[in-house]
Amino acid sequence: MSLKLENPSVVLKQVGEIVIENRPVPKLQDSHYVKIAIKKTGICGSDVHYYTHGSIGPFVVKNPMVLGHESAGIVVEIGADVQNIQVGDRVAVEPGVPSRYSDEYKSGNYNLCPCMVFAATPPYDGTLARFYTVPEDFVVKLPDHVSLEEGALVEPLSVAVHATRIAKVTFGDRVAVYGAGPVGLLIAATAKAYGATEVLVIDVFDNKLELARTLGATHTYNSGGDRGLSEADLVAKQLAALNGIPPNVVFDASGAEPCIRAGINLIKAGGTYVQVGMGKDDVNFPLTVMGTKELTVRGLFRYSYDDYKMAVKLVSENRVDVKKLITHRVKFDDAVKAFELVRDGKAVKCIIDGPEDI
């Protein structure tokens, strides 16, 4: 195998150990697949969680696994029956492919497919390699003015798009978002793009709240000094941040029980609450408040039909500026540094370049 055909990959060998090693160059699995030379990859909290804990819920790393699932690149090979993608196209890669035979796929909820093959979710390898293959209908072409870095961030933006569409956010809505990590920030930006007129973002870090304002938040609240307050006083202070008028849509992107409880107590009667963040398996949930307010409470898992295309459209029309999330960039050979930056809370979003061609 020539050097040009080597497939360097970022591999999680075991908890706390990441190495770069060569993997076989993947072949097209059928005539509808395309091969992509990966150029940019963002680091997600789930990647870091596998690095530090080795599992997320039922997904346990039992064998070495290639990391990464927020990627964009250039198509270098296409199958014989590929119709809409050409060699040389710059694309965002949707990293989860469902079974074409499941009820979930047939009903239009393919993100819920129990047979989903999702990059960097055990036992499946991720995208942090020179080459990656995927069906042609799970890539989205990027307009010429959209960078590959922006293309990599289409993945977390698609989560925000899915959340906003589930909540049916529209013009005039008042929105609160708990948690100003990348997904929370993108939910705030997407909600604003969908027409929300007031968007409150709640977090404990001022730098993240400042970033939220540049992305569309109209109000921010730092809850870092609220420890020791009663739940009623905490909610009252958050309500005051919205000038005393409760939001009709609340997203929790933190997974933290105090935020979940506050969100249910804060929301307007008849409103919609969407749980985005992952936390403990079981929390103390204000069930009576949910019932007496007659809330619509929704879960969220990744993204589904058309969310990726909508995310690309939001970026291409400058409705959401995903570039503002990028705080660090590292070379492929320094990939371990990227995971450490995110693990230690030093990066909002870190992009890994390459690997470069040899």
**Does domain 158-299 sit in CATH 3.40.50.720?**
yes
Do the bridges between strand 55-56 and strand 33-42 make them parallel or antiparallel, or are there none, so unpaired?
Answer: unpaired
Give pTM, 2 decimals. Answer: 0.95
Average pLDDT over residues 287-305: 97
Domain range summary for the chain, segments of one domain joined by +: 3-152+321-353, 158-299
* Whether the Cβ atoms of residue 95 and residue 38 lie closer than 8 Å to each other: no
**pLDDT value of position 3:** 45
**pLDDT value of position 357:** 56
Residue 5 has pLDDT above 80, yes or no: no
Least confident of 161-165, 199-203, 225-229, 289-293: 225-229
- Sign of the alpha-carbon dihedral angle for 136, 139, 145, 147: negative
Q: Within its chain, how far is the Cα of 237 from the centroid?
A: 29
What does the alpha-carbon distance between residue 345 and residue 52 come to, in Å, rounded to a whole number?
Answer: 13
Residue 1 has pLDDT above 60, yes or no: no
Q: Is 295 exposed, middle or buried (0-12, 13-18, 19+ CB in 10 A)?
A: buried
How much is the CA Rg of the chain, to the nearest whole Å? 20
In the 8-state DSSP scheme, what is residue 267?
Answer: S
Average pLDDT over residues 34-59: 93
Q: pLDDT of 71-109, one tens digit each?
A: 999 999 999 999 999 999 999 999 999 999 999 999 999
Q: How confident is the model at residue 358 (pLDDT cuts 50, 70, 90)?
A: very low
Q: How confident is the model at residue 329 (pLDDT cuts 50, 70, 90)?
A: very high
* Whether the Cβ atoms of residue 40 and residue 350 lie closer than 8 Å to each other: no
Q: Is 338 exposed, middle or buried (0-12, 13-18, 19+ CB in 10 A)?
A: buried
% the chain with pLDDT above 70: 98
* The dihedral formed by the CA atoms of 281, 282, 287 and 289, expressed in degrees to the nearest 10: -80
**pLDDT value of position 355:** 87
Domain 3-152+321-353 fold is Quinone Oxidoreductase; Chain A, domain 1 (3.90.180)
**pLDDT value of position 140:** 98
Mean pLDDT of the chain: 95
In the 8-state DSSP scheme, what is residue 136?
Answer: G
Please give the residue that has the higher pLDDT: either 133 or 3.
133
Q: pLDDT of 118-134, one tens digit each?
A: 999 999 999 999 999 99
Average pLDDT over residues 209-238: 95
